[in-house]
Chain A
Amino acid sequence: MKTPLLLMTTGLLCSRAALATLGGDVTSVESDRVHMKAARLTPSSPSALYTVHEMQTPAGTTVREFANADGIVFAVSWKGPFQPDLRQALGTYFDEYKTAPRARRYGHSHDIVEQPGLVVHSTGHMRSFAGIAYVPQLIPAGMALSQFAERAP
């Protein structure tokens, strides 16, 4: 139990091949990947603060899930020709995303939700979508938002 945090996290990831939904425990089943019939790519740990799990849906959309050192997914990003299954990827946060108030109609190419406990930006057009969702309270201390944004797909 005295294993350094990074090693412990990496070990768990490798042994369970785990992926989870936003806010979920990364040691849970690969529910997202299986649900989306996605291929999983090798996880990477760009820093000791978080690990990135990447998968690709059959339609070619890349989904990345960012897990903090506690194994909790604090952000999900996506990019590709179709929207991913956000109900699956956002998990318990999906209902909040759906029902959160929007200010003024932006047209169909843009959507922003900024709640105290959930931020979602979704942008794009037919054949080219991208977005990111994160829970501010779960972002690792010492990590700037720009840090994971730069590494999102």
Chain B
Amino acid sequence: MRALAGSTAFAGCTGGLLLRLTAFCVTTLAVLCVAGCGGGSAAVATGPTGPTNPPGGGTPDTGNTATLVVDSGPTGISAGIVNTPYVTVTICAPGTTNCQTIDHVSVDTGSSGFRVLGSVLNSTLANALKIASNTQSQPYYECLQFADGYSWGPVTAADVKIAGETASNLPIHIIGSTQVAVPSGCSGGAGQAENTVNSFGANGILGIAQFQYDCDTYCSTAPAPEGAYYSCTNSTSSGTCTAAVMPLIQQVPNPVFSFPTDNNGTIITLPSLSNAGGANTTGQLIFGIDTQSNNALGNATVLHLDGAGNFTAAVNGGTNLTNGGFIDSGSNAYFFTDMGTTVCTSATAKGFYCPAALQSLQATVSSNGVTATVQFLVQSADVLFAGNNGNNTAFNDLAGPTTIPGGPTNGSTDFFDFGLPFFFGRSVYTAVEGKSTSAGAAVSPFNAFK
């Protein structure tokens, strides 16, 4: 499937010199980057956020296990980063040894697809990554919308390697590093542009949600939605883009689905923490579920995920939340609304809870006949961020509101977002759709935890 995607994507570039004279074929990521990355041939040279040793300084694993680190993020981040798990990923031009190792790629169970900031790619690799195109040789670009912003850039393909796993010729998204103006349908969908390492908070993102494709049939059938895939007239500043129907095989997929083995899901394990938090905490990202001796599902609580990726959830014995709950390593706190919990007012902790004392709360989660109670703690974010001279980056008791302060617990925007605090002291499983596990087909896809 990947080879097919590649041959489609690069069909316009295989015809030798004459074809290479077309605008598309001579367009490389490096060329695109001239304006946005500092100018000159060294425009995409590796900066201070370039390849380093694996986070945490550990020995690279050759099997199905990558080291996770929860630290203050890549070099060049101005905002304080907490509760964000990172791994190191190697990407190569397809089928070659033209590779680069990228540190501080955030691990996100709330989205699917591998994306890397174009500004961290060295020029040798950037030159070799060709932009995917449609049958008219028009380059494909993608707008990825998050709840907090959007990321814009070309679609290409690469071999993506992490631990001992490889997804070959995988469609990936290069964020930023383009002269093509962001379409209004992209920038209008979410708040802020997140096209730089600083605004994105990472050098890349490893989206390992349960979805195989990032857009699936929403984008593979007409009408093409705004805020997803676009075909552009060319890859220069004169290029204009329109929302495009994107065939599934050319969409940016969950890389795990494309591994030859260990491809039915992931496990994130992080250690228990004190209620004061920890600094530079490390854990593991394990590929596969019940495929090796280190990834058994065992007696984990299995929560089937609906088509939108949610399950049923309630807080402190209340009614079920309108939008349900989800487990998301890409969220840095428990986000939920609780009338009795005070919202912080300080500049550094705005958007989080600041109770006068440590609170013990519980959530009820259920799906497909399985119900479980999750006990959790909420400490004041002011206290947490001030502890250890402000050096702590991992907290099991950070929380914030997800809907209108003073509003009802069952309000319109109300989710229970089980962010990274939920992961500490647990193994959290994400089983991808369309693959089998010992839990059986009836509950696929699912999140599980123990």
A residues sitting closer than 8 Å to B (CB atoms) are 37, 57-59, 77, 79, 81-88, 94, 97-98, 102-114, 119-132, 145-146, 148-153
Contacts of B84 in A (CB 8 A): 105, 107
Question: Which B residues from 191 to 209 make CB contacts under 8 A with A?
Answer: 191-192, 194, 201, 207, 209
A23 to B335, CA, bound (A): 29
Given contacts A123-B417, A126-B112, contact A85 B411 (CB under 8 A): no
Q: Ordered nearest first, which 3 A-B pairs have the shortest CB separation?
A: A152-B412, A87-B188, A103-B350
Q: Which of A103, A114, A125, A130 is in CB contact (< 8 Å) with B209?
A: A125
Given contacts A58-B223, A145-B404, contact A107 B309 (CB under 8 A): no
Nearest opposing residue in chain A for B329, CB measure = A107
Contacts of A84 in B (CB 8 A): 189
Given contacts A37-B223, A130-B323, contact A98 B417 (CB under 8 A): no
In the complex the two chains form, is B412's CB within 8 Å of A130's CB? yes
Contacts of B145 in A (CB 8 A): 82-83, 129
In the complex the two chains form, is B218's CB within 8 Å of A132's CB? no
Q: Which of B207, B214, B415 is in CB contact (< 8 Å) with A130?
A: B415
Contacts of A98 in B (CB 8 A): 191-192
Provide a sorted-by-A list of 20 A–B residue pairs whose CB atoms are within 8 angstroms.
Answer: A59-B225, A87-B184, A102-B192, A108-B148, A109-B146, A109-B148, A111-B190, A122-B413, A123-B335, A126-B111, A126-B309, A127-B308, A128-B308, A130-B414, A145-B406, A146-B408, A149-B407, A149-B412, A152-B411, A152-B413
Given contacts A37-B223, A107-B84, A107-B330, contact A132 B190 (CB under 8 A): no
In the complex the two chains form, is B410's CB within 8 Å of A106's CB? no
A131 to B414, CA, bound (A): 9
Min C-beta distance of B98 to chain A, whole Å: 30
B366 on the A face (CB < 8 A): no
Contacts of A129 in B (CB 8 A): 145, 147
Query: Beyond the given A107-B84, A110-B147, A151-B412, could you list 4 further A-B residue pairs with CB under 8 A, ordered by the A residue number?
Result: A108-B111, A111-B147, A125-B111, A126-B207
Contacts of B146 in A (CB 8 A): 108-109
Contacts of A77 in B (CB 8 A): 412-413
A86 to B352, CA, bound (A): 24
Q: Which of B187, B228, B310 is in CB contact (< 8 Å) with A128?
A: B310
In the complex the two chains form, is A106's CB within 8 Å of B332's CB? yes
In the complex the two chains form, is A107's CB within 8 Å of B349's CB? no
In the complex the two chains form, is B412's CB within 8 Å of A79's CB? yes
A32 to B413, CA, bound (A): 21
B351 on the A face (CB < 8 A): yes
Q: Which of A119, A120, A127 is in CB contact (< 8 Å) with B309?
A: A127
Given contacts A86-B188, A87-B188, contact A107 B79 (CB under 8 A): no
In the complex the two chains form, is A121's CB within 8 Å of B331's CB? no
A94 to B187, CA, bound (A): 11
A58 to B219, CA, bound (A): 12
In the complex the two chains form, is A108's CB within 8 Å of B147's CB? yes
In the complex the two chains form, is A87's CB within 8 Å of B148's CB? no
Contacts of A104 in B (CB 8 A): 79-80, 82, 348-352
B403 on the A face (CB < 8 A): yes
In the complex the two chains form, is A105's CB within 8 Å of B308's CB? no
Cβ contacts B57-82/A at 8 Å (1 or 0 each): 00000000000000000000001111
In the complex the two chains form, is B227's CB within 8 Å of A131's CB? no
In the complex the two chains form, is A82's CB within 8 Å of B110's CB? no
